[in-house]
Structure 1
């Protein structure tokens, strides 16, 4: 039996927190400072976290290793299971030439890369976040941006920064639902409070994306379109979360943003569009194709853009994403959702015998093998439907899957190692030590509250996991400090969304999606500044909401 201890050093939570921070510091120094490859940095940091758990926290070595194994299993399923199938769908559309058709179709809405970044990464990415989450938007929108001519490193960094404002309501508001269940604060109250925080991010993020693409010149050129996309999303997110449905918030906001931008671009366009280059994923031959293969010739025609794209080709190009939307939407329908839930199996991870300070087993010790309702399984179904619509033979689909696995092999190692690190830190109480230390700042807790959520997401790659780790801590600390528990619990989720772009898990997903495995450190340096800047904005907002200045915003 191992009982978690928040202050293993004894009478010095600060010193204990310094020890607990060692694995994270190791990870970010190796990744961002020494520029080691992500899988190497993650494996070393995992080893460090195990040593800290054993030496400082007196966690039995066997249990520390078991915690790492559970985390690695979670990294493979459900996390990489999502990414594998998302990239597989992309591979099939690229092989058949339909992604080139999609690129030309989106360019017809606007051939300006700055606007494409907002439409694809921000608005469409938010729709994917609403339906799937867990890295799916980064994986899909990054390859879409490359397809319309973005440089791979820029495509991945833009996709990561764009995946912020919708995250708290992602996967049909799973982070909010989880937070409500743990804190016993009504879901609608938490959703309403988050809906009065994250819309402010939506006002800034489109402008940041434009600036990432083309600097201040780009902002001056296309700020009207960026503001239309951001403001319409913010209004949709606020209105739906407060007055309609927490679960439907991102769906409504993303569709409103896309529709508003398309309508606006019919009456306005930038004076000097910023055009991109041809997509850089190359033009691989279809497996088993010969020069006289009709499917091969059609793929070449679509890829080269010889002649005008037919309505059928355009429909087929959008079909995989329409399929994703429809399948995930149907999966949330009551009877279907109940049926899928039958394919879920929860069990205590073998070898783990852990109690928290309350004498209860931590939720992380239970492994959820939800093989049927998992987002990755739904994406697999989408891939099979995509095969039928695009007329991809089983042999060619298997070839695409094999190439995808080869492309993602190091990213898979990285994600497994990072989740192993997260589980060791969580189950040994290292993460709780850090959160408890930050929560002890007293009256200015409201300012630091988003930082706790940011840290949790940076470690785990999931706002849901961050809420699971620190939601109760935030609510309890708020009561002790005389603050509103709803405000601080919501701040955990709102701050958490800003840690997602620097999470090694998501950095690995973004890099692998655009063929830059091993360049995660470069990505980290490109996005970490934006993560910190937006976090400071959120800290100031939450602090003001805890004072008379903006207390009227708390429901």
Structure 2
């Protein structure tokens, strides 16, 4: 170990935390105020982090640059790999003409934008989050909504809002499993605690999402659908978190919600169909008379995608693929070169930096294979779509995503620099000084971690142990605050620059990250406060809600 982290360079944790917030403040300012492009905001935020890490936290320049490169590599794989393949699959359905049939089939089911958002952004997005996570749901569902006629900002924004309810149990429960591992708490019990917080929050997400689209009065016109989506999703998520564990709450909740909405629409329709005021007249209804075979063929790429990402999420499948190929690379010059110290760890311990190259078991590979398997299906549409056109589409997608790739790499570089310099831990330690108010701030720590890293899993790995130790110190149930880290993190997902970049990439609005950030910011803060109040009440007033 060549360098030991320090967490309070000013010998005043409040002052140190304020300086540690500098890179995040730059990001907020550039995106929300200056309306800068994502890669420009990320570059300036990274520059601020480098200055603070080296000049204030005393991190050697070589280690600072190396930690940044390590983060950028993590952004390239597996995150970019998921985004690239997801957008490619969508682009193929557009080029082959199959997406027009998908639009027509949805118009036959419902041409109401509110109901389409419930089906695609909320329910189908939750299935993708539950099976794959890591950017897949927003990349797929935002592209689908835009193709249906949603404006790009609303397509991206609605999907970001919807993708809060499932995040803590995403990727077959990986965030909760990681939180259990780093905190030393029982995973089944922790799943039950998250199951007493997230489903309560998820109850309001369908209504919140539709109110964002059309206001409260017009949302009441589809109240039966909102109630069905809320009750089906939250009830199933609670039951599986309580009785089964963290792996299946999202997958089963999404399936039950889709079935519930389909059954509802057989017996009920809204009195009037709602579209956006500035929406151009759509010809989707004209394509609603395709045969059942044509509709099944058009939806086949997404059905194949659902099957692949489900199996790729299973531990047995992952283990088998990793036996074929898995490289766990100790990052040169960084692995073990930095030591964590108290109060983050009981005694000085080396900070690992391992880069996992799991090319076969990565979620992006599942999407790639689903896309390749879909090409012969799409070729039957009579448009002559073949592998040559699919490969051309892949390279065009790479060019389309060049700026989001840069943005995500810069953001992950910034996140890892803050982790390895100790700046992230400084922010976490500042929250631990809130004493009896800690339950209120515990979700904010999770929110901050997901904003930094774009991942609920990474946030739990970063702050899970600290949440557990601080809760014990202030006399609060540690299961409650560790669960709150995961639950609070779901609302940080929608404004994470990584998530914003994924949304703009999939809706062809690269350069408008600031507009989408402003769209989501207020909702993120309001939702976080709801969770803060819930956790505080559970700590001191309504403890009967907890296991």
SS at match of 2:349: coil
- For residues 5 and 62 of structure 1, the distance between their equivalents in structure 2, rounded to whole angstroms, comes to 17
- Paired residue for 1:32? 32
Instruction: Report whether the alignment pairs 1:354 with 2:343.
Output: no
> 1:383 is matched with which residue?
371
What residue is the counterpart of 1:295 in the other structure? none
Say if 1:161 and 1:501, in contact at 8 Å, map to a contact too: yes
Alpha-carbon distance between aligned partners in 2 of 1:57 and 1:30, rounded to the nearest angstrom: 24
> Quick one: structure 1 residues 318 and 277, their matched pair in 2 at CA, closer, same or farther if it must change by over 3 Å?
farther
Which string of whole-angstrom CA distances, capped at 9 and with x for unpartnered residues, describes residues 182-230 of structure 1?
1111111111111110112211111111112211232121122112101
Within the candidate set 446, 449, 467, 1:453 is matched to 446
Once the two structures are superposed, the pairs formed by residues 278-427 of structure 1 within 5 Å of their partners are 308-333=289-314, 335-342=316-323, 343-352=325-334, 353-357=337-341, 358-363=347-352, 365-391=353-379, 392-427=385-420
Distance 2:95 2:473 in 1: 58
**Partners of 1:107 and 1:148 within 8 A in 2:** no
Distance 1:307 1:169 in 2: 36
The answer to which of 311-320 and 500-509 deviates more is: 311-320
User: In the superposition, relative to structure 1, how do residues 79 and 333 fare at CA in structure 2: closer, same or farther (>3 Å)?
Assistant: closer
Q: Which residues in structure 2 correspond to 1:9-28 (within 5 Å)?
A: 9-10=10-11, 12-28=12-28
**Aligned 8 A contact 2:192 2:245 in 1:** no
**How big is each residue's C-alpha offset from its partner over 1:125-155, in whole Å with a ceiling of 9 and x where there is no partner?**
0000011111110010001111221111111
Offset from partner CA, 1:455-507 (integer Å, 9 cap, x none): 00011100000001000000000000001111100000000011000000100
Larger displacement relative to structure 2 (146-155 or 18-27): 146-155
Change (3 A) 1:40 1:334: closer
2:498 is the alignment partner of 1:505: yes
Residue equivalent to 2:458: 465
Q: In the TM superposition, what is the alpha-carbon distance from 1:307 to its structure 2 partner?
A: 8.2
- 2:8 matches 1:7: yes
Question: Any idea what SS the aligned residue of 2:436 has?
Answer: helix
Instruction: Please list, as runs of the form range in 1=range in 2, the aligned pairs for 1:90-169 lying within 5 A after superposition.
Output: 90-169=90-169
- Provide closer, same or farther for how the CA distance between residues 210 and 258 of structure 1 changes in structure 2, counting only shifts above 3 A: same
Matches within 5 A, 1:251-290: 251-275=251-275
1:4–1:355 CA contact under 8 A, matched in 2: yes
- Aligned residue in 2 for 1:528: 521
Shift of 1:362: 2.6
Q: CA–CA distance in 1 between the matches of 2:471 and 2:130?
A: 29
* Contact residue 102 and residue 314 of structure 1 kept, 8 A: yes
Which residue of 475, 488, 492 corresponds with 1:495? 488
- Paired residue for 2:546, among 543, 546, 554? 554
2:344 is aligned to: none
Give the aligned partner of residue 89 of structure 2.
89
| Aligned Cα root-mean-square deviation (Å) | 1.8
Helix, strand or coil at the partner of 1:266:
helix
Cα distance in 2 for residues equivalent to 1:331 and 1:382? 11
The alignment partner of 1:347 has SS state of: strand
| 1:200 paired residue number | 200
The offset of 1:545, in angstroms, is 0.7
Identify if the C-alpha distance between structure 1 residues 58 and 318 changes in structure 2 by more than 3 Å, giving closer, same or farther: same
- Figure out how many residues of one structure are paired with residues of the other and give that number: 532
SS at 2:359 equivalent: coil
**Mapped partners of 1:187, 1:335: distance in 2:** 19
Deviation at 1:397? 0.7
Instruction: Tell me the CA shift for residue 310 of structure 1.
Output: 2.2
Q: For residues 258-281 of structure 1, what are the alpha-carbon distances to aligned partners after superposition, in whole Å with 9 as ceiling and x for unaligned?
A: 11111112222111111469999x
C-alpha distance 307-503 of structure 1, shift in aligned 2 (>3 A):
closer
- Alignment deviations for residues 379-435 of structure 1 (CA, whole Å, 9 cap, x no partner): 111111111221232210111111211211111111000000000001101011001
3-state DSSP class of the match of 1:397? helix
The runs of at least 4 aligned residues of structure 1 exceeding 6 Å deviation read 276-280
CA contact (8 A) 2:132 2:313 kept: no
User: Which stretch shifts more, 438-447 or 346-355?
Assistant: 346-355
Unmatched runs of 5 consecutive residues or more in structure 1 = 283-301
Q: Distance in 1 between matches of 2:28 and 2:315?
A: 43
State the TM-score, normalizing by the size of structure 1. 0.93
* Residues 182 and 472, structure 1, Cα contact 8 Å, conserved in 2: yes
Matched, 1:443 2:451: no
Q: Partners in 2 of 1:380 and 1:277 — Cα distance?
A: 37
User: How far 1:332 moved relative to its partner?
Assistant: 4.0
Task: Quote how far apart the aligned CAs of 1:85 are.
Answer: 0.2
Gaps of 5+ in 2: 342-346, 380-384
Partner of 1:515, secondary structure, is coil
Distance 2:244 2:36 in 1: 47
Give me the whole-angstrom Cα distance separating, in 2, the residues matched to 1:332 and 1:259.
Answer: 22
